[in-house]
């Protein structure tokens, strides 16, 4: 049998490379005669490090250049963190598979001396640039000071000492993948900090008409994760939100039932709307839409319009 080659396009951050290498290894385990290569591609989100991301192009900052390479037939698939994948795709490529979700929760890395998030001092300084994380933590603890931190996971952990912070907030999945589990101070319950849409899952994107590639990668698709993330993304697209707004949605699948919670907040976590719906997994997309419409009927659009007028942006990216 002749050796086939599959080319993966990936960002060059340590986390992105870990994820692309994981996909490569799974492919090579399954197809011993397949040669898998990685092509590192710089995205706009990687190039511009000192300007708030929302000011340099909005949605799709971490995926556009990889999609373009795919359309030029320089790579066959792209591996993305699902939470960085916009809800729209250019003509010719599509989201083909959603992998089994790793731990979807957010975590905090705590300054030495603290044993839990609850112990953090009055007016403590928390490092995160995510509006979703800021809003939910301020909702519980309005005294906290939110400090913007930018850069990859290692850089953000380093800011704990560099910027004299009491804690930094990160995703459990990234910590586990990069071998930083021992530094996790506490896992934040989704009831307290609802995870980002798609958090913990990877998305494989390919050319829609590339049947050979699509057939090779279809085994990555994990149905329960795919139902949950489909519902979460339906919330996002119905609210017309990008990745830089305090919107969260989180689905869990048990048997054929999906429980979906969605949240919209203002930047300070003072006006916060939250709803939960359950449905059969076949209704995942429709339920995401319905949940978003319910939030809109409660005033979500007004809250988000206020946020869009603010000068605060999410500047994280891995
Ligand atoms: N914002 C960047 C980003 N994109 C994906 C992950 C973590 C891995 C995942 O969610 O799959 C992270 C790091 C973080 O937010 O701490």
Look up the CATH number of the domain holding residue 140: 3.40.190.10
Residue nearest to atom 4 of ligand 1 (CA): 318
Decide: helix, strand or coil at residue 77. Answer: strand
Same domain? 95 vs 9: yes
Q: pLDDT category, 311, cuts 50, 70, 90?
A: very low
Choosing from 33, 73, 76, 84, which is the catalytic residue?
84
pLDDT at position 242: 54
Annotation says 84 is catalytic: yes
In a domain, 193, yes or no: no
102-139 pLDDT per residue, tens:
999 999 999 999 999 999 999 999 999 899 999 999 99
Do 251 and 229 form a contact (C-beta atoms < 8 A)? yes
Decide: helix, strand or coil at residue 268. Answer: coil
Cα of 152 vs centre of ligand 1, distance in Å, is 9
Same domain? 175 vs 245: no
Q: Is the CB of 157 under 6 A from ligand 1?
A: no
Number of domains in the chain: 3
In a domain, 282, yes or no: yes
**pTM for the full predicted model:** 0.92
Query: 23 lies in which domain range?
Result: 1-99+201-221
What's the complex ipTM?
0.92
Q: pLDDT category, 54, cuts 50, 70, 90?
A: very low
Residue nearest to atom 12 of ligand 1 (CA): 318
Same domain? 292 vs 306: yes
Q: Is the CB of 317 under 6 A from ligand 1?
A: yes
Same domain? 113 vs 93: no
Q: Is the CB of 174 under 6 A from ligand 1?
A: yes
Same domain? 120 vs 247: no
Cα of 24 vs centre of ligand 1, distance in Å, is 20
In a domain, 133, yes or no: yes
134-166 pLDDT per residue, tens:
999 999 999 999 999 988 899 999 999 999 999
Q: Among 18-32, 83-97, 229-243, 302-316, where is mean pLDDT lowest?
A: 302-316
**DSSP annotation of 310:** S
Residue written as token pair 């305090």: 246
Q: Is the CB of 206 under 6 A from ligand 1?
A: no
Instruction: Choose the residue to mutate in 10, 15, 128, 202 for probing ligand 1, maximizing ligand atoms within 8 Å of C-beta.
Output: 15
In a domain, 192, yes or no: no
Same domain? 53 vs 129: no
In a domain, 54, yes or no: yes
Q: pLDDT category, 313, cuts 50, 70, 90?
A: very low
Helices (H) and strands (E) in the chain, counts: 10, 13
HEC string of 111-132 equals CCCCCCHHHCCCCCEEECCCHH
In a domain, 194, yes or no: no
Same domain? 169 vs 299: no
Cα of 316 vs centre of ligand 1, distance in Å, is 9
In a domain, 196, yes or no: no
In a domain, 261, yes or no: yes
């Amino acid at each position: 049998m002749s050796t086939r080659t599959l080319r993966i396009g990936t960002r060059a951050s340590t986390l992105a490379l870990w994820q692309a290498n994981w996909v490569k290894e799974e492919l090579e385990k399954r197809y011993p005669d397949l040669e898998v290569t990685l092509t590192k591609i710089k995205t706009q989100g990687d190039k511009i490090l000192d300007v708030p991301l929302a000011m340099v192009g909005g949605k799709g900052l971490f995926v556009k250049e990889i999609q373009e390479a795919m359309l030029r037939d320089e790579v066959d698939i792209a591996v993305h963190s699902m939470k960085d994948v916009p809800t729209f795709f250019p003509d010719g490529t599509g989201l083909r598979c959603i992998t089994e979700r790793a731990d979807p929760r957010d975590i905090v890395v705590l300054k030495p001396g603290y044993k839990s998030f609850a112990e953090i001092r009055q007016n403590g300084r928390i490092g995160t640039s995510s509006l979703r994380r800021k809003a939910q933590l301020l909702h519980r603890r309005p005294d906290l000071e939110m400090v913007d931190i930018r850069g990859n996971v290692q850089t953000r952990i380093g800011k704990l000492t560099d910027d004299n912070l009491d804690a930094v907030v990160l995703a459990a999945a990234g910590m586990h993948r990069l071998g930083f589990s021992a530094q996790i101070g506490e896992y934040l319950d989704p009831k307290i900090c609802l995870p980002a849409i798609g958090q913990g899952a990877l998305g494989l994107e390919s050319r829609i008409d590339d049947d050979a590639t699509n057939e090779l990668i279809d085994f990555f698709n994990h149905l329960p994760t795919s139902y949950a993330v489909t519902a979460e993304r339906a919330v996002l697209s119905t609210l017309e939100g990008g990745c830089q707004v305090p919107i969260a949605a989180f689905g869990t699948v048990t048997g054929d039932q999906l429980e979906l919670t969605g949240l919209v907040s203002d930047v300070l976590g003072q006006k916060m709307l939250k709803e939960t719906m359950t449905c059969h997994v076949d209704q995942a997309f429709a339920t995401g839409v319905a949940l978003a419409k319910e939030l809109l009927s409660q005033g979500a659009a007004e809250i988000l319009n206020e946020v869009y007028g603010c000068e605060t942006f999410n500047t994280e990216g891995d």
